[in-house]
Structure 1
Amino acid sequence: MSKPELEFHLPDAPWRSPVGADPGVEELVLADDPERGCRTTLVHWAPGTDTSTQGVVRHDFWEEVYLVEGALHDLRLGRTFTAGMYACRPPGMPHGPWTSQDGVTMLVITYPEPGRQ
């Protein structure tokens, strides 16, 4: 299976809190291929969201993030990233923890490392 074929439409799936997410974090799944581990979501963090309890995060998959609106502050790097900025993280790349004083909405695309599908 692969992600579904979808022409422009208004997504009708509900915003949900992902399993294990910090309070204030919700996602809207735009396209998903659970067999291959590929996923496209919009992720929203409410104002005041703080992921410091999770510490630094590393994934075993690729993750691309585009900040649609708002800002994230990286506590480890001491830097703030704002709307229009983009990150591409290979498997194992450390990132976070984060805070978002005023909230943030991100487009997040995840997929497995080639050869691990």
Structure 2
Amino acid sequence: MSKTTCTYWNALAQDQQHCWHWLEGLEGQVEEVILSHDPATGEFTRLTRFHPGAHTTAFGATVHAYPEEILIVSGRLWDGSFAIWLETGHYASRPPGEVHGPFSTDVGCLVLDVSFPQRLGKTGA
């Protein structure tokens, strides 16, 4: 099996708002829309929208046993682990085990995230 496919659609269009879902524990702050998913491998591509004032400090930093790639599409996001503002255009290819977050934003942020759960690596934990 492979990742789901979709002929062109605009995930940011107002009439597609019903496709977005709040992240558990971050209702009113952070929401996501899955753009494609491979049920066999768990690989997915999504957009994550951080609303102005959102913060994930209650969850602390995050680490995955798999690699992921992110691109800041718009806005800016503070990464507490790296003490850096990720601005529009910032890209990261995170190896397995890289600690990132917690995150916060003052103006809001839209992130493109591609994750590869089937490519497990050592987390160092």
TM-score (norm 2): 0.81
Alignment length (residue pairs) = 116
Unaligned runs of 5+ in 1: none
Instruction: Give the direction of change, closer, same or farther, for the CA distance of 1:45–1:87 in structure 2 (3 Å limit).
Output: same
**Alpha carbons 1:22, 1:49 under 8 Å: kept:** no
State, as a whole percentage, how many aligned pairs show the same letter.
Answer: 33
Does structure 1 residue 59 correspond to structure 2 residue 64?
Answer: yes
> 1:104 pairs with 109, 116, 121, which one?
109
Unaligned runs of 5+ in 2: none
> Which has the larger strand fraction?
1
Shift of 1:93: 0.7
Q: Counterpart amino acid of 1:92?
A: G
RMSD over aligned CA atoms reads 2.0
Distance of 2:49 and 2:106 partners within structure 1: 13
Match of 1:2 in 2: 2
TM-score (norm 1): 0.86
> 2:92 pairs with 83, 87, 92, which one?
87
